Amino acid sequence: MAFLRLMRPANIVTSIADVLAGIAIAGFFAEQEINQARLFSVLLLCIATAGLYGGGVVFNDVFDAELDAIERPERPIPSGLVTTRQAGMFGIFLFFIGITSAFLVAPLPGIIAICIALAAVIYDKWGKHHPFLGPLNMGLCRGLNLLLGICIQAPALLPRCWLAFIPIIYIASITMISRGEVHGGNRVLLYAASFLFILVIADIFYFAWINHSISLTVLYLLIFAWMIFRPLLAAIRRPSGINIGRSVKAGVIALIVMDASLAASFGSVYPALIIVFLLPFSIWLSRLFAVT
């Protein structure tokens, strides 16, 4: 149970949603023949992202062990349930699972998986301490995660690689908000995050418009907007640590709906529905395990 807590299971479900959205954007599910071998590639990429995300958040707690002993003593490492060495070895194992699974699909996903692991460790050790580059670093991890899904169809990667900027902007915004999770935040950052959230929604709507997939995409975007702005507005009214934490948690879980809207904006109706079905599972896990 302590190792599961380190992995943030609810967050891992959102990383799987990223990969599924990327696979849908690449047009993988639009092909007529989806045989067992191709579905196995999808499964391997889902295992890969779970390992990579899990390894990243485990190393986050490894590098933050001394700070967590003061600010979050209930976490597995400072509470003594897991030693720093055990957590470090577990993180390495998860990265190994993630990278190996990606390479089993093809060399390109394997290379992207290595980039994700490096970006995660750089953020955990150094990036998080920088006020501007830190959020971008965290966003890069999610952007690469979307590309991990897209590269299941190698020819689709180059024409679609710029889509990585959507999760980069969105996660950078959430990371920026999360800086006030312990001691409270300031409204300037919250207003800036609101603007970036609107930018993300506008971008996805634009893709839906040019791909003639507006109807279903708008439904997902409305749900997405409600999930992220309701707690954010509460945090703007009262930027306490509790309200900031709720906004960050909602923003992370809402990634699933954002991914569904991205898939829908490229005409992938059924994959978008599959991604949305991950939402109740992630919400359930968020009640059992910490998200932030």
Domain limits of the chain? Answer: 2-288
Whether residue 32 has pLDDT greater than 60: no
Can you name the CATH fold of 2-288? Tetracycline Repressor; domain 2 (1.10.357)
Question: pLDDT tens for residues 231-282?
Answer: 999 999 998 888 898 999 999 999 999 999 999 999 999 999 999 999 999 9
Q: What is the mean pLDDT of residues 60-86?
A: 92
Question: pLDDT tens for residues 163-206?
Answer: 999 999 999 999 888 876 666 667 888 999 999 999 999 999 99
Q: Structure pTM? A: 0.93
Task: Give the pLDDT score at 132.
Answer: 80
SS3 per residue for the chain: CHHHHHHCHHHHHHHHHHHHHHHHHCCHHHCCCCCHHHHHHHHHHHHHHHHHHHHHHHHHHHHCHHHHHHHCCCCCCCCCCCCHHHHHHHHHHHHHHHHHHHHHHCHHHHHHHHHHHHHHHHHHHCHHHCCCHHHHHHHHHHHHHHHHHHCCCHHHHHHHHHHHHHHHHHHHHHHHHHCCCCCCCCHHHHHHHHHHHHHHHHHHHHHHHHCCCHHHHHHHHHHHHHHHHHHHHHHHHCCCHHHHHHHHHHHHHCHHHHHHHHHHHCCCHHHHHHHHCHHHHHHHHHHHCCCC
Q: What average pLDDT does the structure give for the chain?
A: 92
